[in-house]
């Protein structure tokens, strides 16, 4: 029997088969969950719908999380289809490409606002919109990059600031929803080649450096993240809430990185 047998899981943020969301969806299916998928807009529908068909997904809904009305509507559609939900995954982030290449000090007001709105506030809004249909014991999770939130990752800029706010939001939501026995956590993944990552200046170098410097000397995959999401979605993590859990080959423990050392 799978670890998520009988659980209804909704995953927001599928763009293509390189997305972290896709790794999570596949791991959830492997463990027996009943999965629903949400994606951003019509442009992505062309990529997402064939993927959803491939896994015979019955609930595939568009939702631009910058729009309150769309969040409300997707929550109503989920209630109508699933009744109750056990796992909610937010795998969404956005910042203008410009903001991720110029110096952080030059971040524009609009760029800051957009990054915070789509990458952070949407997590709060989604959690709130779904809270009335989350079962006791339900698990809510988001994706962060802790090394860019708690320290400086060159070029990550406003996204690092947004991730710090996202991690803090996970803690506040964990406190609010704790009495309903709903857990809220953040998964901090190491760099993975995805569409979103392609927008971060210098990502290729960061990706390579990561594998050289991490204790396990290897990069993280979407399958690795999927397995962590299974743990957080399952009853194995029943008393874990408000945490940022790193899946990064140990990169975050390093205080000094020595170039070229094997
Ligand atoms: P991805 O495949 O590009 O996924 C990002 C998703 O966010 C896309 O599906 C994107 O849709 C969606 N999105 C953006 N604006 C949206 C909006 N207004 N409404 C709804 N959805 C919207 O990249 P990913 O790397 O898997 O990113 C998933 C999460 O993992 C993000 O939170 C990211 O910060 C985090 N993360 C990534 C890495 C990494 O190295 N890749 C590391 C740590 C954490 P569109 O493409 O249609 O805009």
Measure the CA–CA gap between 182 and 136, rounded to whole angstroms: 6
- Reading the block at residue 99, the tokens are 């903001």
Q: What is the CATH number of domain 8-251?
A: 3.40.50.720
Per-residue pLDDT reduced to its tens digit, 54-108 = 999 999 999 999 999 999 999 999 999 999 999 999 999 999 999 998 999 999 9
In the chain, where are the structural domains located? 8-251
242 touches 185 (CB < 8 A): yes
pLDDT band at 164 (very low <50, low <70, confident <90, very high): very high
Q: Indicate the DSSP class of residue 190.
A: P
Per-residue pLDDT reduced to its tens digit, 248-261 = 999 999 998 876 66
Over range 16-25, report the average pLDDT: 97
Identify which of 10, 11, 12, 13 to mutate to test ligand 1's pocket (most ligand atoms within 8 A of the CB): 13
Residue among 113, 94, 132 nearest 13 (CA): 94
Over range 232-247, report the average pLDDT: 98
Measure the CA–CA gap between 210 and 232, rounded to whole angstroms: 25
Residue among 76, 78, 43, 73 nearest 60 (CA): 78
Distance 238 CA to ligand 1 centre (A): 27
Pairing of strands 134-144, 183-189: parallel
Mean pLDDT for the chain overall: 96
Residue closest via CA to ligand 1's atom 28 equals: 91
Q: Which atom of ligand 1 is nearest to the CA of 142?
A: 32
CA distances (Å), origin 49, targets 21, 39, 42, 43, 116: 14, 9, 10, 11, 28
Whether 156 sits among the annotated catalytic residues: the reply is: yes
Per-residue pLDDT reduced to its tens digit, 167-177 = 999 999 999 99
Q: Is the pTM of this model over 0.75?
A: yes
Residue closest via CA to ligand 1's atom 11 equals: 40
pLDDT band at 239 (very low <50, low <70, confident <90, very high): very high
Measure the CA–CA gap between 77 and 10, rounded to whole angstroms: 12
Over range 202-223, report the average pLDDT: 94
Measure the CA–CA gap between 26 and 45, rounded to whole angstroms: 19
Gap between the terminal Cα atoms of the chain: 41
């Amino acid at each position: 029997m799978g670890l998520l047998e009988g659980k209804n899981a909704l995953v927001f943020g599928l763009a293509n088969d390189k997305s972290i969301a896709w790794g999570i969806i596949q791991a959830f299916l492997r463990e027996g969950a009943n999965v629903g998928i949400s994606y951003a807009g019509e442009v992505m529908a062309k990529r997402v719908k064939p993927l959803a068909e491939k896994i015979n997904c019955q609930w595939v809904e568009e939702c631009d999380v910058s729009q309150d009305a769309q969040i409300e509507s997707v929550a109503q559609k989920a209630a109508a289809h699933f009744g109750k939900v056990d796992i909610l995954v937010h795998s969404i982030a956005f910042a203008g490409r410009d903001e991720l290449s110029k110096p952080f000090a030059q971040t524009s007001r609009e760029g800051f606002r957009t990054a915070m709105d789509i990458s952070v506030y949407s997590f709060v809004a989604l959690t709130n919109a779904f809270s009335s249909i989350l079962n006791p014991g339900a698990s809510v999770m988001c994706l962060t990059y802790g090394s860019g939130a708690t320290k400086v990752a060159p070029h990550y800029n406003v996204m690092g600031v947004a991730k710090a706010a996202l991690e803090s939001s996970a803690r506040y939501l964990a406190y609010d929803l704790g009495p309903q026995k709903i857990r809220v956590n953040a998964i901090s993944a190491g760099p993975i080649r995805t569409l979103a990552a392609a927008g971060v200046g210098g990502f290729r170098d960061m990706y390579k450096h990561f594998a050289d410097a991490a204790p396990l000397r290897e990069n993280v995959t979407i399958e690795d993240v999927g397995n962590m999401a299974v743990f957080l979605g399952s009853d194995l993590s029943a008393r874990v809430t408000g945490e940022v859990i790193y899946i990064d080959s140990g990169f975050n423990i390093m205080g000094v990185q020595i170039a070229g050392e094997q």
